[in-house]
Structure 1
Amino acid sequence: MLTLGCHLSIAKGFAAAARDARRIDANTFQFFTRNPRGGRARELDPRDLQRFRQECAGGGIERMLAHAPYTLNPASSNPDTRAFARQTLGADLARMEEFPHQLYNMHPGAHTGQGVECGVQLIAEALNEVMRPEHTTTVLLETMAGKGSEVGGRFEELAAIIDRVDLGDRMGVCLDTCHVWDAGYDVANHLDAVLEEFDRTVGLGRLRALHLNDSQNPCGAHKDRHARLGEGHIGFDAFAAIVNHPALRDLPMYLETPQDSLDGYATEIARLREVATRA
């Protein structure tokens, strides 16, 4: 069975998020560790965590993907921005030990004019400062669309960061279909070739999660505008191939498509489960 879910709010607590996941036939979910534009993380409520664990046990939810706020930029030319990123990353990873052996996803950062090599080095330095041997969380670098001075629009850039991290065994990648498409990797028509390039550059063993998003833009646009599955330039057939691909089908997959309600996610999850069952 696919490990499939979507991004859910934890504003009403983790137990409520797990109930939402079960309602839409999801057996995993993604959440922001704090406001995606920054700010303090909400306090963890032991009673909520107890109810959350009960909901997960009842719904077969074993995997979660925590997502760092978008404002984190450990590669910035501004030292205050870099300091904020390190402080937040360190605090998030410490809190993640309430949910041991889970996944933490982050956008690598933007070099803000310093150059890719400098950005790669700064990101690795930040991770080396905040990651601890006693942590059980796997940190994932998300593939990016390559807009502006983003680092991570090419597989080589992700590999370069991981190679510089001391605790490399705790590092992985989350492949976002919209982002790689916008970065110029044609996952619609040449999925095997893209995965072969990823394997040569980063290693398929590093691929630990997927973001399933269609794109409003043609391949190589470098813009990052998500679309609902089948309503963008990638097309639903590509997602049917992804969920059935032997190198991908056992990975946790998360929808970040624009929806008006959870019902939209429920529809997409049902469609993906249907094509996976047929294959």
Structure 2
Amino acid sequence: MLVIGPHISIAKGFARAARDAVSIGANTFQFFTRNPRGASVKAFVQKDIDGFQNMRAENGMGPFLAHCPYTMNLASAKEDIVELGKRMLSEDIARMESIGVEYICFHPGSHTGMGEEKGISQIVDALSEVIKEDGSVWVLLETMSGKGTEIGYKFEHLNEIIDRVDKNDRLGVCLDTCHVFAAGYDIVNDIDGVLEEFDRVIGLERLKAIHFNDSMKEFSSKKDRHSNIGEGLIGLEALVRIMNHELLREKPFFMETPGELDVHEKEIELLRSRYEE
């Protein structure tokens, strides 16, 4: 079964987001844990959470993916930014566990000029402090495009972080198709080779979710610009091959593509028509 959904705002509540997802043919969705450009967060409303859980059960929805805010940077040279990131991640993991969300992902961080090794060490230290041994949520490092001083555009970065974190049993990866294409992994012409490299460097057992996006920018551009499914330089046929790949087809796919619900409905309809049951 294809598990697929877009990014949906939870500003009007989780139950409303679930209803919106079902209305366009989705059976999951991604959402921000809090203000994506800040740090503010709203307390859960039990009636809303109950409605969400009912929608989830009645429609066979999930797994779900929570996305941490862009302001979180565990690799920053500024200590206050790192401390804020640790606090937000710790709080968000606990909040997602309380409502049964399976996955939470975040951008590993940007080293802001300190160098990759220093940035990686800070991420390792922060995750070792935040992640608890008895947690139920999978914490996912997102593959990045390599713009600026980003960490995570190489599989080796993610592997080093995972290996060095103390409690890494539930530490995994969210593979973003736009990002890896922009980073120089040829998912268009050699998806088998890319997955073989991922398995060799990290291990496919760590790959838990897919950010399913086309790319406005060319291969190995190191530029992060998402495009709608089939309208970018990755192209529909390559994305269909990825979706149907024997190693990926059972993973949840989360679209971060431009447009409103009507656009995402057409994308989901197109992809379901090309999914090999």
TM-score range, shorter chain: over 0.9
Displacement of 1:229 in angstroms is 1.1
Aligned to 2:266: 267
Displacement of 1:101 in angstroms is 5.8
Q: What pairs with 1:33-52 in structure 2 (closer than 5 Å)?
A: 33-52=33-52
State the Cα RMSD in Å: 1.0
User: What amino acid is aligned across from residue 124 of structure 1 in structure 2?
Assistant: V
Displacement of 1:100 in angstroms is 2.9
Whole-Å separation in 1 of the counterparts to 2:202 and 2:101: 22
Displacement of 1:62 in angstroms is 2.8
Partner SS for 1:263: helix
Whole-Å separation in 1 of the counterparts to 2:12 and 2:39: 17
Partner SS for 2:74: coil
User: What amino acid is aligned across from residue 180 of structure 2 in structure 1?
Assistant: V
User: What amino acid is aligned across from residue 222 of structure 2 in structure 1?
Assistant: H
Partner SS for 2:153: coil
Whole-Å separation in 2 of the counterparts to 1:139 and 1:182: 23
Aligned to 1:114: 114
Which aligned segments of 4 or more residues in structure 1 are displaced greater than 4 angstroms? Answer: none
Aligned to 1:241: 241
Whole-Å separation in 2 of the counterparts to 1:270 and 1:243: 14
Unmatched 5+ residue regions in structure 1? none
Aligned to 2:73: 73
Whole-Å separation in 1 of the counterparts to 2:134 and 2:67: 20
Whole-Å separation in 2 of the counterparts to 1:62 and 1:143: 22
Whole-Å separation in 1 of the counterparts to 2:86 and 2:196: 33
Identical columns (%): 51
User: What amino acid is aligned across from residue 196 of structure 2 in structure 1?
Assistant: E
Partner SS for 1:174: strand
Sort the Cα spacing of 1:14 and 1:271 in 2 relative to 1 into closer, same or farther, 3 A. same
Whole-Å separation in 2 of the counterparts to 1:230 and 1:96: 32
Displacement of 1:59 in angstroms is 1.4
Cα deviation code 1:92-119 (max 9, x no counterpart): 1111121236100000000111111111
Q: What pairs with 1:1-279 in structure 2 (closer than 5 Å)?
A: 1-100=1-100, 102-259=102-259, 261-277=260-276
Whole-Å separation in 1 of the counterparts to 2:28 and 2:56: 9
Whole-Å separation in 2 of the counterparts to 1:155 and 1:73: 19
Whole-Å separation in 1 of the counterparts to 2:196 and 2:39: 39
Asked whether the equivalents of residues 73 and 82 of structure 2 are also in contact (C-alpha less than 8 Å), the reply is yes
Whole-Å separation in 2 of the counterparts to 1:215 and 1:6: 16
Sort the Cα spacing of 1:100 and 1:167 in 2 relative to 1 into closer, same or farther, 3 A. farther
Asked whether the equivalents of residues 214 and 229 of structure 1 are also in contact (C-alpha less than 8 Å), the reply is yes
